[in-house]
Structure 1
Amino acid sequence: MALSVYVAGLGHGAGKSTVALGLAELLSRQVGRVGVFRPLVTEPGADQTLRLLAERYRVELPVEELAGATYAEAAALVADGRREELISRIVERYRAVERRCPSVVVIGSDFDDAPETGHGGLPRELAFNARLATEFGAVLVPVLDGRGQDADAIGGAVRSAYHDCEDLGATVLAVIANRVPAPLRLPELPVPAYAIPDLPVVSAPTVAEVATALRATRLTGDDAALRRDVLGFVVGAAQVPTLLDHLVDGALMITPGDRADLLLAASAAHVAGQVSLAGLVLTLGIRPDDRVMRLVERLNTGLAVLSVRTDSFETVAASSRISGRLSVDNPRKVQTALGAFEERVDGEELARRLRVTRSVRVTPLMFENDLIERARGDRRRIVLPEGCDERILRATEILLRRGVADLTLLGDPAEVARRARELGVDVGRAEVVDPATAPCRDEFAAGYAQLRRHKGVRLELARDAVGDPNYFGTMMVATGRADGMVSGATRSTAATIRPAFEIIKTRPGVSVASSVFFMLLADRVLVYGDCAIIPDPDAGQLADIAVSSAETATRFGVEPRVAMLSYSTGTSGSGADVDKVAAATELVRKRRPDLLVEGPIQYDAAIDPQVAAAKLPGSAVAGRATVFVFPDLNTGNNTYKAVQRSAGAVAVGPVIQGLRRPVNDLSRGATVPDIVNTVAITAIQAAAEEQR
Structure 2
Amino acid sequence: MTRSVYVTGIDRGDGRQVVELGVMELLTRQVDRVGVFRPLVHDGPDRLFELLRARYRLAQDPATVYGLSYGEASVIQAEQGTDELVSRLVDRFHRVAREYEVVLVLGTDFADTQLPDELALNARLANEFGASVLPVVGGRKQAAESVLAEIRNAHRAYEGLGCDVIAMIANRVAREDREAVQRGVDTRLPVPCYVLPDDAALSAPTVAQITHALDGKVLLGDSAGLSRDALDFVFGGAMLPNLLTALTPGCMVVTPGDRADLVVGTLASHSAGTPPIAGVLLTLGEVPSPEILALADRLAPGTPVISVATNSFPTAAELFSLEGKLNAATPRKAETALGLFERYVDTSDLVKRVSAPSTTRVTPMMFEHKLLEQARSDRRRVVLPEGTEERVLHASEVLLRRGVCDLTLLGPDEQIRKKAADLGIDLSGAQILDPQTSELREQFAAEYAALRAHKGVTVELAGDVVADVNYFGTLMVQQGLADGMVSGSVHSTAATIRPAFEIIKTKADASIVSSVFFMCLADKVLVYGDCAVNPDPNAEQLADIAIQSAATAAQFGVEPRIAMLSYSTGTSGSGADVDKVREATELVRSRRPDLLIEGPIQYDAAVEPTVAATKLPDSEVAGQASVLIFPDLNTGNNTYKAVQRSAGAIAVGPVLQGLRKPVNDLSRGALVQDIVNTVAITAIQAQGPSQA
Q: TM-score range by the shorter chain?
A: over 0.9
Matches of 2:101 and 2:192 in 1, distance apart? Answer: 24
Q: Which moved more, 1:338-347 or 1:541-550?
A: 338-347
The 8 Å contact of residues 270 and 301 in structure 1, kept in 2 or not, is answered as: no
1:175 CA drift (Å): 1.3
Output one character per residue of 1:653-674: Cα deviation in whole Å (capped at 9) or x when no partner: 1110111111111111112221
Matches of 1:518 and 1:623 in 2, distance apart? Answer: 18
Q: Which moved more, 1:659-668 or 1:370-379?
A: 370-379
The 8 Å contact of residues 562 and 625 in structure 2, kept in 1 or not, is answered as: yes
1:301 CA drift (Å): 4.7
Map 1:246-261; keep pairs closer than 5 Å. Answer: 246-261=246-261
Answer yes or no: is 1:359 the counterpart of 2:352: no
Matches of 1:77 and 1:507 in 2, distance apart? Answer: 71
Map 1:256-405; keep pairs closer than 5 Å. Answer: 256-405=256-405
Matches of 1:384 and 1:638 in 2, distance apart? Answer: 29
Instruction: Give the SS at the match of 2:225.
Output: helix
Map 1:12-411; keep pairs closer than 5 Å. Answer: 12-43=12-43, 46-81=45-80, 83-112=82-111, 117=112, 119-120=113-114, 122-182=115-175, 183=178, 184=180, 185-187=183-185, 188-411=188-411
Q: Which moved more, 1:177-186 or 1:294-303?
A: 294-303
The 8 Å contact of residues 660 and 689 in structure 1, kept in 2 or not, is answered as: no
Match of 2:413 in 1: 413
Amino acid at match of 1:56: R
The 8 Å contact of residues 408 and 433 in structure 1, kept in 2 or not, is answered as: yes
Output one character per residue of 1:398-446: Cα deviation in whole Å (capped at 9) or x when no partner: 2222222222111112222222111111112222221122223233223
1:331 CA drift (Å): 2.2
Instruction: Give the SS at the match of 1:392.
Output: helix
1:107 CA drift (Å): 1.7
Amino acid at match of 1:66: V
Matches of 1:472 and 1:691 in 2, distance apart? Answer: 20
Match of 1:607 in 2: 607
Output one character per residue of 1:43-81: Cα deviation in whole Å (capped at 9) or x when no partner: 46x312111112222222133432222333334434543
Match of 2:664 in 1: 664
Instruction: Give the SS at the match of 1:105.
Output: strand
Q: Which moved more, 1:672-681 or 1:242-251?
A: 242-251
Amino acid at match of 1:104: V
Amino acid at match of 2:158: C
The 8 Å contact of residues 5 and 138 in structure 1, kept in 2 or not, is answered as: yes
Amino acid at match of 1:176: I
The 8 Å contact of residues 653 and 678 in structure 1, kept in 2 or not, is answered as: yes
Matches of 2:334 and 2:448 in 1, distance apart? Answer: 43
Answer yes or no: is 1:430 the counterpart of 2:430: yes
Matches of 1:263 and 1:432 in 2, distance apart? Answer: 29
Match of 2:645 in 1: 645
1:256 CA drift (Å): 3.1
The 8 Å contact of residues 28 and 366 in structure 2, kept in 1 or not, is answered as: yes
1:272 CA drift (Å): 3.4
Instruction: Give the SS at the match of 1:274.
Output: coil
Match of 1:623 in 2: 623
The 8 Å contact of residues 7 and 141 in structure 1, kept in 2 or not, is answered as: yes
Output one character per residue of 1:177-208: Cα deviation in whole Å (capped at 9) or x when no partner: 11100223333211111210000111111111
Instruction: Give the SS at the match of 1:688.
Output: coil
Instruction: Give the SS at the match of 1:155.
Output: helix
Map 1:445-456; keep pairs closer than 5 Å. Answer: 445-456=445-456
Aligned CA distance change for structure 1 residues 70 and 691 (closer, same or farther; 3 Å): farther
- TM-score, normalization by structure 1: 0.95
Amino acid at match of 2:167: A
Match of 2:490 in 1: 490
Instruction: Give the SS at the match of 2:136.
Output: strand
The 8 Å contact of residues 409 and 432 in structure 1, kept in 2 or not, is answered as: yes
Matches of 2:214 and 2:63 in 1, distance apart? Answer: 27
Instruction: Give the SS at the match of 1:505.
Output: coil
Output one character per residue of 1:542-583: Cα deviation in whole Å (capped at 9) or x when no partner: 111111101111111111100000110112222211111111
Amino acid at match of 1:600: P
The 8 Å contact of residues 186 and 194 in structure 1, kept in 2 or not, is answered as: no
Matches of 1:261 and 1:440 in 2, distance apart? Answer: 42
The 8 Å contact of residues 660 and 690 in structure 2, kept in 1 or not, is answered as: no
Amino acid at match of 1:446: A
Amino acid at match of 1:484: G
1:335 CA drift (Å): 1.3
Instruction: Give the SS at the match of 2:511.
Output: coil
Instruction: Give the SS at the match of 2:490.
Output: coil
Instruction: Give the SS at the match of 2:140.
Output: coil
Output one character per residue of 1:153-198: Cα deviation in whole Å (capped at 9) or x when no partner: 0000101111111223222111111110022333321111121000
Output one character per residue of 1:362-390: Cα deviation in whole Å (capped at 9) or x when no partner: 22222222222221222222111111111
Amino acid at match of 1:186: G
Amino acid at match of 1:58: R
Matches of 1:237 and 1:64 in 2, distance apart? Answer: 50
1:394 CA drift (Å): 1.7
The 8 Å contact of residues 384 and 473 in structure 2, kept in 1 or not, is answered as: yes
Matches of 1:503 and 1:691 in 2, distance apart? Answer: 13
Aligned CA distance change for structure 1 residues 441 and 289 (closer, same or farther; 3 Å): closer
1:83 CA drift (Å): 4.5
Match of 1:562 in 2: 562
Amino acid at match of 2:643: V
1:595 CA drift (Å): 0.8
Instruction: Give the SS at the match of 2:323.
Output: coil
Output one character per residue of 1:285-328: Cα deviation in whole Å (capped at 9) or x when no partner: 33334443333333335322222233322222122222111122
Amino acid at match of 2:519: M
Matches of 1:281 and 1:463 in 2, distance apart? Answer: 48
Matches of 1:149 and 1:406 in 2, distance apart? Answer: 33
Instruction: Give the SS at the match of 1:351.
Output: helix
Amino acid at match of 2:171: N
Aligned CA distance change for structure 1 residues 535 and 426 (closer, same or farther; 3 Å): same
User: Structure 2 unaligned runs (5+)?
Assistant: none
The 8 Å contact of residues 568 and 600 in structure 2, kept in 1 or not, is answered as: yes
Output one character per residue of 1:108-152: Cα deviation in whole Å (capped at 9) or x when no partner: 22243xxxx4x43x3432222222211221111111211111111
Aligned CA distance change for structure 1 residues 240 and 472 (closer, same or farther; 3 Å): closer
Answer yes or no: is 1:506 the counterpart of 2:506: yes
- TM-score, normalization by structure 2: 0.95
The 8 Å contact of residues 273 and 417 in structure 2, kept in 1 or not, is answered as: no
Match of 1:541 in 2: 541
Aligned CA distance change for structure 1 residues 298 and 435 (closer, same or farther; 3 Å): closer
The 8 Å contact of residues 272 and 418 in structure 2, kept in 1 or not, is answered as: no
Matches of 1:664 and 1:467 in 2, distance apart? Answer: 20
Aligned CA distance change for structure 1 residues 110 and 691 (closer, same or farther; 3 Å): farther
Matches of 2:78 and 2:315 in 1, distance apart? Answer: 36
Matches of 1:56 and 1:383 in 2, distance apart? Answer: 28
Amino acid at match of 1:156: A
Match of 2:582 in 1: 582
Matches of 1:293 and 1:75 in 2, distance apart? Answer: 52
